[in-house]
Structure 1
Amino acid sequence: MLQLCWILFQFTFLGVLGIQMVKVEDFITGIAGNEVRLPCCFTSDTRNLNLVQITWLKKAETGNVNLAVYNPQFGTSYPVGSNRFSLTNTTPADCTLTIDPLQLGDEGLYYCEVNTFPNGKHESKTNLTVLVKPLTELLVVPAVASFSEAPVAHCTAANGKPAAVISWSDRIPGNATFIRMENANGTVTILSQYRIMPTRMDDGKNVTCLVSHNAFTNVMDLTVALSIRYRPEVTIRGYNGNWYVKSSNRSLECLAKANPPVTSYHWTMSTGFLPPTVHVKDNHLFITQIDYSVNGTWICEATNVIGKGRSEISVVVKEMDSRVAGQLFASTLVYIVVGTLVTVLLIVALITIMVMKTRRKTSATRKEVKVHPANDREFAVLATLNVKVVDNASSSSKEARNQEATVVADLSID
């Protein structure tokens, strides 16, 4: 009953003296390191009212702390002596408190207190919440290829308020672990590891850590390439199955994929020694002259800090048989004959052109005496070149292989 009476008294008093109000925002959120503004507006419908002073205070355990004061007669004052606090729009209608930069310790309850004459003091309170952006980091953790699960990436969202939320992309199947650490200043650090069963195929693939926080406009994504360490995987190239005796300048190349990179290569042969025509340089093996000493199995071994890998290839040296020789001879003969015939055709064409020019001069001289028929002024040269090559080297019989390749050419001029 007494409380109800007091409320009725207040309404009656305000109805007589006029409605007065201190307007603030009930809840304001700011980000540490940024600027935040706490607005305070005083309104009244009473003209016979004098503004004495506006004061911003912060609630503390030992009592309210006076941060900033505005007096129409004496101006502004900052009792705490900090240049992070300032009053803007200092008028009776608007007296906003600006904090820049905002600190974590600024979080709390703030009062905007307005003193007037003759109505006395009016105040309203604002609850300020300070957010702290977490420091994010994603690190790759080198792992050795194995059949056991191991951590491959480490994501951290440190010193955030409130605690950040970490998740991982599922492009590479795995499991995540999380550790939460409460800091003395009220911030929270989240540690997360991503664990997979590492294989050689996972080396170089990307993994992404997703960090969500109230102070972030969007989800922050951090990406790193995995480093899976494995011993060398070796292949040998350069032998095509057609190495013949007395051929020269052949080579083999040892190719190795490894993480970390290969530190050394070693060539050996099944016979236990390298022929004198062979020399080695890094991952290449050079053979200056092919003979039967090259026959055998060649082995390349590559080494890195994880281990060794090897590959082998069997080389069979062949004799240059009559069929292969015949094919080479026939091919060479065809090129010679065709080249010769083309040259002869060019010479005949050149002679024909010269004869035509001579006859035209003679015809022009005779024209002064008499007129020749129209067909005497025409001269036609027709040249035909027919080339037929018979490659007897491709025959399967022994007699055919002993025959030479035949080239037949017909040349006619009309």
Structure 2
Amino acid sequence: MDFNYSDRAHRYLDRLRGFMAEHVYPREADVAAEVATGERWAPVSIIEEIKARAKAEGLWNLFLPDSEDGAGLSNLDYAPLAEEMGRVLWASECFNCSAPDTGNMEVLARYGSAGQKQRWLKPLLAGEIRSAFAMTEPDVASSDARNIESSIRRDGDTYVINGRKWWTSGAGDPRCKVMIFMGKSDPDNDDVYRQQSMILVPTDAPGVTIGRMLPVFGYDDAPHGHGEVIFDNVRVPADHMILGEGRGFEIAQGRLGPGRIHHCMRLIGLAERGLERMCRRLSERVAFGKPVAAQGVWQERIAEARILIDQARFLTLNAAYKMDTVGNKAARKEIGMIKVAAPTMACKVLDWAIQAHGGGGVSDDFGTAYAYAQARTLRLADGPDEVHRYQIARLELAEQVGRNG
């Protein structure tokens, strides 16, 4: 295993860190103030300004490995860049590297037709529009995607779409112009993994209704948000089908692998920022006659936080290395492992950071509460811990029995 970053990655990382120091960190308070006092469901003007600057400086689409529109970095080389962006929750958007757009762009780049790429991928890569991914449903256990009940029915030269989705991230953003919708196109197929398809649905199509925006631990995540979306006899042209009928699970596996590891990369950066804040706070405060940082319990937590973060980083790099060398499917166990480990680690470290800040930790003054809410959510997003542990166990049993049997 070789976890060394390429010279190209180091150059990008130096540029990215410099950009973050000059244009992102100094504007954190300004962005928070604009979101709090402005029109909540409108793009944040400060972020739009930073995005234009990042694009002009070539710090754009850094996530996309196999495209002339991206940086051409491997998963391993992208890891430190995503970690750096993850230190500020909105920073990845500044570089056109935020979910769910990254996953949707990868779907279109890998599986989209020429027409789909021209209409949707091109403006997404340019940052002119945003997108959403409509998969999870409120009425079934969507952690098993075979349960999805939404329908995609062929009718001549069109498909008719019906269903109720929720946790459709980005649905509240006025820039969201297209959704990738997963539903059943062949519910009677004997192969349950061929029943599902994915299709492109413009957000302004008749029959699409954006319902309530769902808060996460009280945060509405405006202007991005997570919406409940109703599809009532939505009709789209047949050429909006991605790859072909019955290919939904195949596309999902190609999409979710990179998406999951990107979340983990960013979480490591978020946890690093939490540890920095914790150490600073503990060093500044005095209790019972000495700095809080000198208390044994806090020294133990600081040490444990460093261990947990580095463990998660090495697991992430291992998964990225395997994705690069043997492919996403062969690396699914390693991807599952880090998808469990990274959010669990981040929740632990950020919980300690909250504790270190006392009452301020649960306020919005230090960013620790919001960071924790985001980290805790990622124990559910892109598959809950339980599903990943189940798959890891199955793969491990198959390897062990096959090796020793």
Please indicate the TM-score interval, normalised by the length of the shorter structure.
under 0.3
- Greater RCO between the two (CA within 8 Å, min separation 6)? 2
TM-score w.r.t. structure 1 length?
0.18
Which has a greater percent of strand? Answer: 1
Which has a greater percent of helix? Answer: 2
User: Larger radius of gyration, structure 1 or 2?
Assistant: 1
TM-score w.r.t. structure 2 length?
0.19
